[in-house]
Chain A
Amino acid sequence: MEKAKLSVIQLFAMMFMFDMGTALVISYGISAKKDAWFAILLSMAAGILLFFIYYLLFKQYPNLPLTGYIRKIFGKYLGWLMGFFYVLYFLHISSKNIRELGDLLVSSTLPETPLLAIIIPLVLAICYVLYMGIEVLARTSEVFIVILFLFGIAGNFFVLVSGSVEFHNLRPFLEDGWKPILDTVFPYTITFPFGEMIAFAMLLPLLNKAKYVKKVWLSALIASGLILSWTVSLNIAVLGVEITERASFPTLSTVSKINLMDFIQRLDAIVVFTLLITVFFKASIYIYVAVAAISDLFGLKNHYRIVFPIGIIIIYLSMINSSNIPEHSEEGQLEAYYLHLPLTIILPLVMLLFAYIKNFFKKKKQPKSDKEENFSENTKH
């Protein structure tokens, strides 16, 4: 692991943008139709529950990243294997995010540009930042979250002022009952992006003030949940639920409807930049976390050497992971069951259970070591 420290604000900025990544622009939660906003709020609430799983695990092993305590819990060999699964998971998801960004750019603004020409510079930029270290990424996020907020305020303001917002499109509430909402929440919107935040289990030991973990995580989670819910409501209010369902990138369509006095119009760039910024951070965090996990699992001294090779792998993965957009989203639905669900909910729960049992027996055997752990925790603060 790198010897770095992250401040509270930096971690908040990273978590916030991580959650915004792609979810803000794709048709997120729309399978709940008019109640998408409510489905997102529900999954935000569920995300808070998920956080407590990760948080209790962190409490048990405050100095270890995910790949560290997974080996403590499951033993050297099985734990290593499990940790390696997480590495593959992180790499896969980051490559998917990068692909999504590339697809948006190609289908909306740069139709003639080859996908590879978009992906390579993006991944290289990410690799460069990570090569400089996680602290550089964190400081960058502090700058970009301000820009992101400005874009968000500008976009929302113009959409609201342009007069095409009809909130009665969101009514009636619970048009088709609870089933579509619950089907959306579980397993889709709960794991993406709230469950995906398990990536931060790799970064929590780096926070300079460990006692603020709960505050940072929850505030980022709630802020992003509210904003995602608001955005999807705005999309439905502007486009109507049918068009939002059919749109590949509803937020882009919403913003393209801005027309103030035939003068302020064509603000699509706001959405493209938003996606670019958020995906940059989401993918960076995933790649960093994967790199950190690899160096932890393989006992490397530092991560610098493997950043660029991993970048190459990411480029390759993002090019091959699907041959078209429908395949990409179908894969996404499968992933919810076979990747997100086990890795972000089931496995952490099992880990928590094992950790409690293990520590329970440990306490019984040698109460002395328990004291030591408490001591080490106190010095950290």
Chain B
Amino acid sequence: MKRNIVMMLLVSFTSIFLSGCWDSRELQDLSIISAIAIDKDDKDDNRYRLTVQLINPSQVSGGEQAGKVQATPIRTLTNSGSTLAEALRKISPLAPGQLFYPHVQVMILSEEVAKEGIKSLFDLIERDSNFRLLFPVLIAKNSSAEDILKITTSLNPIPSDALVKNLDTSQKEWGEYISVKADELIEGLQKGSFVVSGVQVKGDKEQGNKGENVQQVSPAATIETGELALFKNGKLVNWIEEKTARGATWIMDEMKKTILNLDYEEKKDAIAIEVNRSKTTIKIKIKNNQPIINIFVNTEGTISETLAPVDLSKTEKIEQLEKKVEKEIKDEIRLTVKMAQEEKSEFLGFREYVNIKDKKLWKTISTSWDEEVFPNTKININVDAFIRRTGMRTNPSTK
């Protein structure tokens, strides 16, 4: 009997403590952060100016809103601090509830911050167990990072969500700008050089801040992703655009889908080829203690549009087009490689392959890789392109 009582007490005691109520947080008391923007702060002694975008749950979820004032689905709060942790904590009193980090969807850094160097910027995000490292990071071009978070978007009420989806689609369908997640960026910081996608405001910033922005058919202000920011030693050194950016996608084997325009006879950009499968392999050869990089691209596509009178029922024509595709891809890759060599920053991931190929050689060249070895390294590009199908028609109507 006595033993039973002891056991009962023990069970109730442990169950109280094992339920972990200490850390309970009620949903209605949380302010869910959907995006964070980091700017440089010029005033005072503060280093950073931090903006968070909070979601207004009642505006996002559907349902009747009778008697309620139409509010924007998001709200931004800003404060400054010498460390990110300080700035975040100083924001909390401004927020309606406890700040909740795990749902951060995107992080935006201003160009200024990026130019000054972001080597130590991610420590808080790595160290704090509340953050998850799977959100993409973007660099704000031509505006402060704060402004990006202040633009309202239609169709998708949460701008940060819209932004992330834009980024994903542009990577998947267009293949020019890769979305770099925070964890990849942290790995990149340790390697030296890497690229991050950019984002900018198009249109009138002031109008974008208002709710009317979403009531327009063609909004006065929109946020657009584009361009790649090239980082070297944790600092932004240059922006990469269009074909050069797409070359990077080819080399890094991130290409999913894209459209290539080919010239035909006199007509420029006359034929559009849709690339829908691609695989890049990188092989290293060592000659005279010098690495030689061979890039092999194997790609497949279909003809999606032609403005010139090509006889597409002939294999020989198709083969000609394949050659052109190969040349086009080769040119893009060469642009990127040349740019990387000129900038003396190898962000394309060759270093790992060299290390795997010859670890002894790598030990001797690893410190001078970016500055001396890579700019003088020979890089061979081999592209194999195949056009498999011509779509629903063979020959075009134009003659």
Contacts and interface: CB of A to CB of B under 8 A. Distances in A.
Interface of A: 107-114, 117-118, 120-121, 124-125, 128, 168, 171-172, 174-175, 239-240, 242-243, 256-257, 259, 265-266
Contact of A109 (B23, B133, B186): B23
B356 interface: yes
Contact of B17 (A111, A117, A172): A117
A190 B187 CA distance: 31
B305 interface: no
Nearest to B18: A121
B335 to A, nearest CB: 26
Interface string B46-70: 0000000000000000000000000
Nearest to B349: A168
Contacts of B183: 239, 243, 257
B355 interface: yes
A109 B20 CA distance: 10
Per DSSP, chain B at the interface is: helix
A243 B190 CA distance: 9
Given A108-B129, A128-B10, A257-B183, A175 B355 contact: yes
Contact of A256 (B132, B190, B359): B132
Interface in B67-97: none
A110 B134 contact: no
A243 B187 contact: yes
Q: Which 3 A-B residue pairings sit nearest by Cβ, starting from the closest? A: A113-B22, A172-B359, A121-B14
Interface in B336-355: 352, 355
A239 B182 CA distance: 12
Contact of A110 (B23, B133, B355): B23
Given A110-B20, A242-B187, A243-B186, A124 B352 contact: no
Given A124-B14, A172-B359, A240 B23 contact: no
B187 A120 contact: no
A131 B97 CA distance: 46
Interface string B306-339: 0000000000000000000000000000000000
Interface string B274-312: 000000000000000000000000000000000000000
A368 to B, nearest CB: 49
Given A242-B190, A243-B187, A120 B17 contact: yes
A125 B17 CA distance: 12
Contacts of B7: 128
Contact of B23 (A113, A125, A174): A113
A259 B164 CA distance: 15
A172 B355 contact: yes
Nearest to A256: B132
B356 A171 contact: yes
Given A125-B14, A128-B10, A259-B134, A111 B23 contact: yes
Contacts of B355: 171-172, 175
Nearest to A246: B126
Interface in B119-168: 129, 132-134
Nearest to A173: B359
Contacts of A243: 183, 186-187
A235 to B, nearest CB: 13
Given A107-B129, A113-B22, A257 B134 contact: yes
Nearest to B20: A110
B397 to A, nearest CB: 42
A124 B20 contact: no
A108 B23 CA distance: 12
B136 to A, nearest CB: 12
Contacts of A128: 7, 10
B352 A110 contact: no
Contact of B13 (A112, A124, A242, A265): A124
A266 B134 CA distance: 11
A378 B102 CA distance: 63
Nearest to B359: A172
A117 B14 contact: no
Contacts of B17: 117-118, 120-121
Nearest to B190: A242
B162 to A, nearest CB: 15
Contacts of A242: 187, 190
Given A121-B13, A259-B134, 20 more contacts: A110-B23, A112-B22, A112-B23, A113-B22, A114-B22, A117-B17, A117-B22, A118-B17, A121-B18, A124-B13, A124-B14, A125-B14, A168-B352, A174-B359, A175-B355, A242-B187, A243-B186, A256-B132, A257-B134, A266-B132
A118 to B, nearest CB: 8
A168 B22 contact: no
A281 B311 CA distance: 74
Contacts of A118: 17
B14 A113 contact: no
Contacts of A259: 134
A110 B356 contact: no
Contacts of B14: 121, 124-125
Nearest to B356: A171
Contacts of B13: 121, 124
Contact of B359 (A107, A120, A125, A175): A175
- Of listed B17, B129, B132, residue having the most chain A CB within 10 A: B129
Contacts of B356: 168, 171-172
Nearest to B357: A172
Contacts of A239: 183
Contacts of B132: 256, 266
A257 B187 contact: no
Nearest to A125: B14
B39 to A, nearest CB: 27
Interface string B19-49: 0101100000000000000000000000000
Contacts of B23: 109-113
Nearest to B189: A242
